[in-house]
Copies of this chain bind each other. A is one copy, B any other.
């Protein structure tokens, strides 16, 4: 199969139908987030930009969509035993919140060196925290032990059809709110969000371009696309703490086939984009959330003639969980 050539949706872990079902399932719980526009940013970018503000989603990030879909997909027998994940970020908080709404336990395995504020976030939403050692091996082992002890269901943060379907609801809303969008720019990490967004958007408008935005210091998706196979990195280094994961076996085929290109930006560009989000859009956007704006302002995008016909660009601002002091201190004042 050629890259960029959509196959039958049967090949993938989700499709427009599962995404529409997710929309119905999460609608009572999730926010329909607003879309903001700014003439000032349009003039800086030289295009018409639409910003889908997932920083205003429950829990402060898009992750609630997938977590909510996953949890409310469980049948009662499965649900009673609860859910497990090993993540210390937005997925953990979102899963805790969604589990609380269903009234079931969420067991969250967190490395013991995780920032206190993230642990506090999980606890605030009622998640039951189990500490592991910092290594991925220990995190997985600990999660497996919790699975065995409790009979709970593992809900991964990205590589899961229920998660992909939930995140895909972003496209359903976004293309209703701004129907002239010809290009979507979406942060990429584990690939759950961009997979759902791409599946839904290309089902609605097969001509739409889907571009991933990825940090230079964690550019596994860029390398995977170049190599034609999942490529993991031995280390990652970026301010965008939500974009350090790698593609999985369910997200990779979708990214391979439906993502038209990966725009790689450096951390300085990400910080500058966060600053513009604050100063011009008046919103708090975390580094991972601002990367789409960084991509559209990057030379790699602006100077590439392939993109000269991207006139109406939808950018997913994926989350807003950034401490004000961190934001302020990251700026080159």
Contacts and interface: CB of A to CB of B under 8 A. Distances in A.
A144 to B, nearest CB: 33
A324 B279 contact: yes
Interface stretch (A5-13, A83-91, A184-192, A280-288): A280-288
Interface residues of A, number: 24
Interface stretch (A132-140, A308-316, A325-333): A325-333
Interface of A: 31, 34, 36-37, 39, 55-56, 58, 60, 275, 278-279, 281-285, 320, 324-325, 327-328, 331, 333
Given A282-B56, A284-B284, A328 B333 contact: no
A141 B202 CA distance: 62
B320 A324 contact: no
Contacts of A325: 328, 333
A235 B282 CA distance: 31
Contacts of A37: 31
Nearest to A61: B282
A56 B324 contact: no
A72 to B, nearest CB: 17
Contacts of A34: 34, 36
23 contacts: A31-B37, A34-B34, A34-B36, A36-B56, A39-B58, A56-B281, A56-B282, A278-B284, A278-B324, A279-B324, A282-B283, A282-B284, A282-B285, A282-B320, A283-B284, A284-B284, A324-B324, A324-B327, A324-B328, A324-B331, A325-B328, A325-B333, A328-B328
Given A284-B284, A328-B328, 9 more contacts: A31-B37, A36-B56, A275-B324, A279-B324, A282-B284, A282-B285, A324-B327, A324-B331, A325-B328
A36 B34 CA distance: 9
A100 to B, nearest CB: 11
A50 to B, nearest CB: 13
A282 B34 CA distance: 13
A60 B275 CA distance: 15
Contacts of A320: 282
Contacts of A327: 324
A36 B57 CA distance: 10
A248 B56 CA distance: 38
Contacts of A324: 275, 278-279, 324, 327-328, 331
A180 to B, nearest CB: 17
